[in-house]
Amino acid sequence: MGGIRKEAIYAGTPVSRGIVFAPVHVMARGFSAPEVHPIANVTRETERFRDALSRTKRQLEGLQEHMESLSGNEEGRIFEAHMLVLEDPVVLKGVPKAIEDRRQNAEYCFYAVMQNQLESMRRIPDPFFRDRTTDIEDVCQRVLRNFDTEHEEPAPDEPDHQHLLVAYDLSPSTTAAMDRHQVLGFATERGSITSHTAILARSLGIPAVVGLRNAVFNLHALDPCILDGYEGKLISNPTPETVRKYRELEEQHQLRRAELDKLRDLEAATTDGHSITLSANIEFEHELDLVDRSGAEGVGLFRTEFFLLENEECPDEEKQAALYSRVAKRVSPSEVIFRTLDAGGDKVPGEPLSEPEPNPFLGWRGIRFSLDRQDLFKEQLRAILRAGTSGRVGLMFPLISGVGEVRQAKSLLSECMDELTERGVEFNREISVGAMIEVPSAAMVAADIAAEVDFLSIGTNDLVQYTVAVDRVNPRVAKLYRSAHPGIIRLIKTIIEGANQHRIWTGVCGEMAGDLTLLPLLIGLGVDELSVGAPLVPLVKQAVRLLDFEECSALAKQCLEASETRQIVQLCSKAAATTYPELLQEASGGASAPSFAAHPA
Ligand code: PEP
Ligand code: MG
C-alpha cells in the first residue's frame, strides 16, 4: 500500500538518537490501527462489520454475566455501557456509510469513524465525556479483534515482525517491557525529553521521537517509515531519494560511533588534567552489556524501581539481594550506586493507590513512600547491604527535601545492620550512602545534608521541574523547562559548595549531565562525577577530553553572574561550539537531551 501514498513528514522532539527504517505499527489511544486496503464488495464488508459487532455483543453479555456471578452485585453493568456504544447510530449507520463512500475494508472504516468520534469527545472540557472515551477505546479494541473470525482467540495487538511503534502515549512500564528485537524505534504524540519513557529509550538505545502531531490518526498500519531520532522526524512512505539520503546519514553516524568507541579505555580528564568520574545510569541488569562497551566507570545511578515495580508484588529481600549482588560483582572493581525505590510521579507502583493523586510529582513519591512503607524500604536496604560483600556498592535516597529525611533513612539503615547481624547474615557496613538533591529546599540546605552523607548526586530532571515549576512530562509547558535558568545554575553552585565544605563529592545524574552544551559549565562549577545513559558515555568522554578546566571555571564564573537563561545558553553554546562542533552535531537529538527544550533562543 505504501507505494501509492505520498511521502509525509511529521516533526517532533528527538529524545533518543538513531535512524530506523521499518514498517509502522500504530497504537491509537487504547487500540491499534488496522491495515487498510481497497475493497470491491461493499455488501460483504458491511456483513463482516455486522458480524464483528454481534460477536462483540455476545462476548460482552458473557462478561457481564460472569462479573455478576462473581461479585453478586451490579458491577457487570459497566459492560452494559460498553454495549450502548455498539448501538450508537454513529457506529450502526456511520460505519456502513464509510464503507460505501471510501470503498475500504470494514475494520479500517470502523477505526476511522471511531477515531473521529473520540477526537470530538476529547475536545469537550467536561470530565464526564473525557472519562467515557476510555470505555469507548476499550470496546473499539474488542470490535477490531473480532474482525478476525478465523481464530478463537483474538489476534494479539503487537505484530510479530520488526516494526516502528507509533503511539499516542507510552508509559515507562510499556517502554520497559518492549521487545527490543521487534520494536526498532518509537514515536509518540505525547511525552517530553525528561519523561521516564524518553530516559528509558536513551538508556536502552532505542531511537525515539516524541511530540509528533496527528501521526496516530494519519498513519496506516505497515506504512514504510523512517524515524530520525537525531532531528526528531518521522517520514512515512519516503521517496527513494529520501531513503538514499537517510542511508548515507546512517553510515556517517556509524563511522563516528566507531571512532568514539575507541575511547573506551581512556580517562575522562580535561586537557589540563582535571579528572571527572564518568559513570552510567541504568534501569535493568541487561544494560550492563552496554555499560561494559561504553567505557563507563561504574554505575552512578541504578533506578531500582523498574525491577521492584515490574510485578504486582515487590521482589523479597532474597531476590533483591541476588540481583544487587550480581550487579555489584559485574561492575566491580568500579562502584554501583543503587537508588532506593523512587515510586510515584510517572512510575506507578504495582499496588495501585486507592485513588489517583491530583499532582503525582508533588505527591507520595521517592523517600516519602519509603519512609511510610518501612517494611518494603528495610527489605531493600538489607538487600543492598548484603550486596556490599560482592563488590563496591553505594546507595542513595531519592527526593530528599531536608536533612530530617536523611537522618530518618540512615537510622532505618542502621536498624537493618543490627537485624542482619542478629540473623548472622554477611553484609558490608562500609557501603557509601548518598542523598539525591532534586528538590530546591534540599539544594538550599545542601551543606547540612552533606554533613550526614558520603556524596551528593544532583537529580537535575526533578531539580529543574521543581525549581522552575514546570511539569517534566507535560508537553504543553516543555519549552519552559530550562536547565540553564540562572536559578538552577546558582542552586548547583550552592550544592557543590555545601559538599565541598564537608569534603564529599558531588555528581550529576539527571539528563543535564549528558547535555554537551552545558557540559563546560557543569565542569567549571566543580562537579566531580557525571552519570549518563550508557550510549552517551563515549560522547561525553570525548567532550571532557577536549575541554580546558581553567576555561570552564572562567565560564562558570560568568554564568553565575548572568541574570537570564539566554545569556547562559549563549556563553555555553559558544564554548561548546568552539571546542567540539562535530560532537555537538553527533549529539543532536536525544543525545544531549535538554539542549532542545531547555535552551529556548
Ligand atoms: C533526576 O530527577 O534527575 C533523576 C536522575 O531521577 P529520575 O529521573 O528517575 O526522577
Ligand atoms: Mg528524580
Cα 510 to ligand 1 centroid, rounded to whole Å: 5
Pocket of ligand 1 (CB under 6 A): 199, 301, 303, 342, 438, 459-462, 509-510
Cα 475 to ligand 2 centroid, rounded to whole Å: 18
pLDDT for position 512: 97
pLDDT for position 4: 67
pLDDT for position 71: 56
pLDDT for position 156: 45
pLDDT for position 593: 40
- Whether residue 196 lies in the annotated active site: yes
pLDDT for position 7: 95
**E strands along 79-151, which residues?**
none
Residue with CA closest to ligand 1 atom 1: 459
Q: How many other CB atoms are there within 10 angstroms of residue 354's CB atom?
A: 5
Cα 483 to ligand 1 centroid, rounded to whole Å: 13
Ligand 1 atom nearest 512 alpha carbon: 3
Catalytic residue among 109, 140, 416, 509: 509
Q: Find, among 458, 400, 518, 470, the residue nearest to 194 by Cα.
A: 470
Regions of the chain with pLDDT less than 70: 1-4, 30, 66-78, 125-131, 134, 150-157, 348-355, 589-601
Q: Alpha carbon of 41 to those of 45, 94, 542: distances in Å?
A: 6, 18, 62
Ligand 1 atom nearest 465 alpha carbon: 2
What own/partner pairs with CB < 8 Å and gap ≥ 24 does 291-297 have? Answer: 291/331, 291/534, 293/261, 293/264, 293/534, 294/264, 294/534, 294/535, 294/537, 294/538, 295/263, 295/264, 295/265, 295/266, 295/537, 295/538, 295/541, 296/334, 296/534, 296/537, 297/268, 297/334
Residue with CA closest to ligand 1 atom 4: 459
Ligand 1 atom nearest 342 alpha carbon: 9
pLDDT for position 133: 74
pLDDT for position 528: 98
Q: How many other CB atoms are there within 10 angstroms of residue 578's CB atom?
A: 10
Residue with CA closest to ligand 1 atom 6: 459
pLDDT for position 351: 56
Cα 183 to ligand 1 centroid, rounded to whole Å: 25
pLDDT for position 461: 96
Instruction: Give this prediction's pTM.
Output: 0.80
Ligand 1 atom nearest 196 alpha carbon: 8
Considering every ligand atom shown, identify the ligand nearest to the alpha carbon of residue 594 and give its number. Answer: 1
Confirm if 276 and 528 have CB atoms less than 8 A apart.
yes
pLDDT for position 150: 64
- Whether residue 552 lies in the annotated active site: no
